[in-house]
Amino acid sequence: MMVSFFDQFASPSFLGIPLIAIAITLPWVLFPTPPSRWINNRLITVQTWFINRFTNQLMMPLNVGGHKWALLLASLMVFLITINMLGLLPYTFTPTTQLSLNMGFAVPLWLATVIIGMRNQPTVALGHLLPEGTPIPLIPVLIIIETISLFIRPLALGVRLTANLTAGHLLTQLIVTAVFVMMPMMPTVAILTATVLFLLTLLEVAVAMIQAYVFVLLLSLYLQENV
């Protein structure tokens, strides 16, 4: 039984060909392309408004140099939200439950922010490793601690996104299994459990959007320290 619970996180394949590439490509196909006309339809208008609001809020703390990342971060945000939301549909696969995929996003982007900081302002970037006013005996220890915390950042980004989505999917499947098992024996309890399942589904929709936002927000904060 426990093996079947985790089968939903296995990458699907057809004739030995992994289908995760289709699951990653599909979100971009669903987005409407803005036409060349002045007047757009409601869907494109809402999409443009959402992206503009998010980009303005994300870029507000950054200086002009960090605004070059606006397109990349906004695209990543929309991409993660779409993948997470599609993963809530029945008989679908959520690529962001794979730690390898999330680390593939987190490590290069985090490393890019570190490289930008070391190239543009190396003194300030290295200064984050040693807080001002640190007693001399604690300097080696704090440098080691801050270095470890710096390298843990991409791991925290990937694990946070993976763990939250995986836990939500597992909890949903457990409750669904409980509803089906209790329906013939205790229909009243099963109905109450189904109500909890509906509320959990709403929570999962919120988590899918919030985790994508948190992922991009933390990247922007790392960028803010280095530009």
| pLDDT, position 1 | 43
- Position 211 scores a pLDDT of 92
pLDDT (0 to 100) of residue 130: 78
Phi and psi angles of residue 18, each rounded to the nearest 5 degrees, phi first: -65, 135
User: What pTM did the predictor assign?
Assistant: 0.83
Residue 184 burial (10 A CB sphere; 0-12, 13-18, 19+): exposed
What is the mean pLDDT for each group of 10 consecutive residues in the chain (227 residues)? 59 72 77 70 81 85 82 89 87 84 92 89 80 79 87 92 89 87 87 90 92 92 85
Q: Which among 66, 57, 71 is positioned nearest to 227, based on CA atoms?
A: 66
pLDDT at 110: 93
What pLDDT score was predicted for residue 34? 67
Quick check: is 2 in a domain?
no
- Structural domain includes residue 122: yes
Q: Is residue 140 part of a domain?
A: yes
Residue 1 lies in a domain: no
The CA-atom distances, in angstroms, between 125 and each of 114, 133, 143, 200 are 8, 17, 13, 42
Number of domains in the chain: 1
Alpha carbon distance 98, 76 (integer Å): 16
Domain that holds residue 221: 7-226
Give the per-residue pLDDT at 39: 66
The residue with tokens 């690529």 is: 95
